[in-house]
A = this chain, B = another copy of it.
Amino acid sequence: MNAAVDRSQHGHLVIVGGHEDRENSKEILSRFVELSGGGKATIAVITAASKVPDEMWKRYNAVFTELGARQVIRIDLPDRAAANDPALAGRVRNADGIFMTGGDQKRLLAMIGGTLMDEAMHGALKQRGACIGGTSAGASAMCGHMLADGKADLLPEKGSVSLGAGLGFVQRVVIDQHFSERHRLARLLTIVAQNPYLLGVGIDEDTALVVERGVGIEVIGAGSVTVVDGRAMISNVADIPSGGTPQLIDVRLHLLPAGSSFALPEEVGHPNQLRPDTTRRTPDPLTDFVRNVTKRNPVS
A270 at interface by CB-CB < 8 Å: no
Question: CB-defined interface of A131-168 with B at 8 Å, one 1/0 digit per residue?
Answer: 00000000000000000000000111000000000000
Contact B245 A254 (CB under 8 A): no
Interface-side segment among A41-49, A114-122, A177-185: A177-185
Q: Is A249 an interface residue (CB 8 A)?
A: yes
Given the known interface contacts A189-B255, A245-B224, A245-B255, the answer about A250 and B283 at a Cβ–Cβ threshold of 8 Å is yes
Interface pair B255/A253, CB less than 8 Å apart: no
Q: Known: A223-B155, A224-B155, A257-B155. Contact between A249 and B286, CB under 8 A?
A: yes
Q: Please name all residues of chain B whose beta carbon is closer than 8 Å to the beta carbon of A154 when the two chains form the complex.
A: 180-181, 204, 223
Q: Which of A223-263 contact B (CB under 8 A)?
A: 223-224, 228, 234, 244-260
| Contact, CB under 8 Å: A254 / B251 | yes
Given contacts A181-B154, A204-B154, A285-B234, contact A257 B250 (CB under 8 A): no
Is residue A73 contacting chain B, with contact meaning CB distance below 8 A?
Answer: no
Q: Which A172-202 residues have C-beta < 8 A from chain B?
A: 180-181, 183, 185-186, 189
Max chain B Cβ within 10 angstroms of own Cβ: one of A181, A244, A250, A253:
A253
Cβ–Cβ contact B285 & A257, under 8 A: no
Closest residue of chain B to A258, judged by CB? B245
B249 in contact with A257 (CB, 8 Å): no
Expressed in whole angstroms, the minimum distance between the Cβ of A241 and any Cβ of chain B is 12
Tell me which residues across on chain B come within 8 A of A251, comparing CB atoms.
Answer: 252-255
A234–B284 CA distance with the chains assembled, in angstroms? 10
Nearest CB in chain B to that of A219: its residue: B247
A285 touches B223 (CB 8 A): no
Residue numbers in B under 8 Å from A234 (CB-CB): 283, 285
Complexed CA–CA distance, A183 and B204 (Å): 15
A257 touches B252 (CB 8 A): no
Residue of B nearest to A248 (CB): B255
Residue of B with least CB distance to A257: B245
Residues of B within 8 A of A223 (CB): 154-155
Whole-angstrom CA separation of A189 from B224 in the bound complex: 14
User: Can you pick out 22 interface pairs between chain A and chain B where the beta carbons lie within 8 Å of each other?
Assistant: A154-B180, A154-B204, A154-B223, A155-B180, A155-B223, A155-B224, A189-B255, A228-B253, A234-B283, A244-B257, A245-B255, A245-B257, A247-B256, A247-B257, A247-B260, A248-B254, A249-B255, A249-B286, A250-B254, A251-B252, A251-B253, A252-B253
